[in-house]
């Protein structure tokens, strides 16, 4: 995770400079041991998909939007058909690269007109956190299902407003929790549900990297809603919940800031936080923008343990338990995510771990409590 931002920057530049690639491009499935496990033998027998297709417009054509677009080349059930951007040159480049018709291209001023476009089913909002609420509500009013990148909003109040707006419009609201579909993560959840760890006692989540450009929007309180917690710390917040299988009932937190110029008022650099769960299990987590090599989840119970390291990076995820290494074919997370979300939106599929707006709201309520606990120095009851 330490090079996450640099990777996105390089990926965007290289992708937009390349000619159109075949489907296997950047988003193709990658076996963890290519020398002994050729991809062709893994997927050649799959039947062509004949079902309905979720037609998606991506809003926000930055680094992560590009990653999602590339991953969607390999999707069977979701298709990139539209874009929303305030940068005409990006729209033009994406039109060429992804064969997007002019009628499916919008900017931030006119995308409400999408209400008249029957060729777009859903909008994937990948804009700065502080813009999520407005963009999601406008997309919902245009009659489109919405997928919103995490965190869903900058606080729980805004998150609830987004949920209410989508319900009123009769559209679904999902959140970009790609790890909720990751096979090693799901195997640990299966093992926990089967009692293979016994009573869960403790979870540790470490999420952090050294952030670069001090002028980027992630260090702007108005656009980001905070600092590291609103970007990387949410992984440990969310992970503590799906790894333990419980919702926390209390929070304590401590903030550390070493650079008050780079990390201005309201922009957190490092927060350590602790969560207590109804069973008596506890979590100890770290969210930071000033330390590298932090992408690890650890769960221990009376009978065994599980570790993911890296736990939330773009892949492959590495996992092991007291029973040995976890081995599953790695497929680009966003490819799996978009196909699974197509199933949820089109066919009402229920995922193992929810990815709806209510799930996003639960994380926001915890983050609000973490900020309050760090500010007051007191335990906050949830």
Strand 105-106 to 78-84 pairing: parallel
Q: Give the model's confidence band at 33: pLDDT under 50 very low, under 70 low, under 90 confident, else very high.
A: very low
Is 221 one of the catalytic residues? no
pLDDT of residue 49: 87
Cα–Cα distances in angstroms (integers) from residue 249 to residues 203, 367, 369, 382, in the given order: 15, 13, 11, 5
DSSP alpha helix (H) spans, 51-117: 63-72, 88-98
Which has the higher per-residue pLDDT, 235 or 28? 235
| Contact status, residue 233 vs residue 274, Cβ threshold 8 Å | no
Is 83 strand, coil or helix? Answer: strand
Structural domains in the chain plus CATH codes: 179-327+357-381 (3.30.360.10)
Active-site annotation holder among 64, 98, 235, 371: 235
| Contact status, residue 296 vs residue 308, Cβ threshold 8 Å | yes
Between CA 328 and CA 18 the distance in angstroms is: 30
Is 314 one of the catalytic residues? no
Active-site annotation holder among 150, 172, 184, 362: 150
Between CA 271 and CA 287 the distance in angstroms is: 5
In DSSP terms, which residues pair with 325 in a beta bridge? 320
pLDDT of residue 48: 82
Say if residue 38's pLDDT is above 90: no
- Please report the DSSP string for 285-320 in residue order: EEEESS-SSEEEEEEEESS-EEEESSSSSSS---EE
pLDDT tens digit sequence for 350-379: 999 999 999 999 999 999 999 999 999 999
pTM of the model: 0.89
Say if residue 252's pLDDT is above 50: yes
> Considering only CA atoms, which of 189, 181, 188, 162 is closest in space to residue 173?
162
């Amino acid at each position: 995770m330490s090079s996450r931002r640099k990777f996105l920057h390089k990926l965007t530049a290289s992708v937009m400079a390349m000619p159109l690639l075949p489907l296997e491009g950047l988003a193709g499935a990658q076996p963890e041991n290519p020398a002994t496990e050729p991809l062709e033998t893994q997927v050649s027998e799959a039947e062509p998909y004949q079902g309905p297709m979720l037609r998606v417009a991506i809003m926000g054509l930055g680094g992560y939007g590009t990653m999602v677009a590339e991953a969607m080349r390999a999707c069977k059930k979701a298709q990139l058909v539209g874009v929303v951007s305030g940068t005409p040159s990006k729209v033009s480049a994406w039109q060429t690269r992804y064969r997007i018709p002019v009628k499916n291209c919008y900017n931030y001023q006119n995308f409400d007109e999408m209400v008249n476009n029957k060729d777009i089913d859903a909008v994937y909002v990948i804009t700065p956190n502080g813009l999520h609420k407005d963009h999601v509500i406008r997309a919902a009013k245009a009659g489109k299902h919405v997928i919103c990148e995490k965190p869903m909003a900058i606080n729980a109040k805004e998150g609830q407003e987004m949920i209410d707006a989508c319900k009123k419009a009769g559209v679904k609201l999902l959140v970009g929790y790609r790890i909720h579909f990751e096979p090693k993560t799901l195997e640990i959840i299966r093992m926990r549900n089967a009692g293979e760890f016994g009573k869960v006692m403790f979870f540790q989540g470490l999420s952090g990297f050294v952030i670069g450009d001090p002028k980027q929007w992630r260090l702007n309180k108005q656009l980001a809603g905070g600092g590291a917690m609103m970007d990387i710390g949410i992984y440990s917040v969310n992970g503590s919940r799906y790894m333990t299988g419980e919702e926390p009932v209390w929070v304590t937190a401590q903030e550390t800031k070493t650079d008050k110029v780079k990390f201005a008022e309201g922009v957190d650099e490092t927060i350590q936080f602790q969560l207590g769960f109804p069973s008596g299990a506890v979590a100890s987590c770290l969210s930071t923008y000033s330390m590298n090599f932090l992408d690890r989840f650890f769960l221990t119970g009376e009978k065994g343990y599980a570790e993911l390291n890296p736990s939330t990076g773009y892949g492959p995820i590495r996992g092991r338990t007291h029973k040995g290494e976890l081995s599953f074919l790695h497929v680009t997370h966003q490819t799996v995510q978009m196909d699974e979300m197509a199933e949820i939106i089109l066919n009402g599929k229920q995922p193992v771990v929810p990815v709806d707006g209510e799930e996003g709201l639960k994380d926001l309520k915890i983050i609000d409590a973490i900020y309050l606990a760090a500010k007051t120095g007191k335990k906050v009851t949830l």
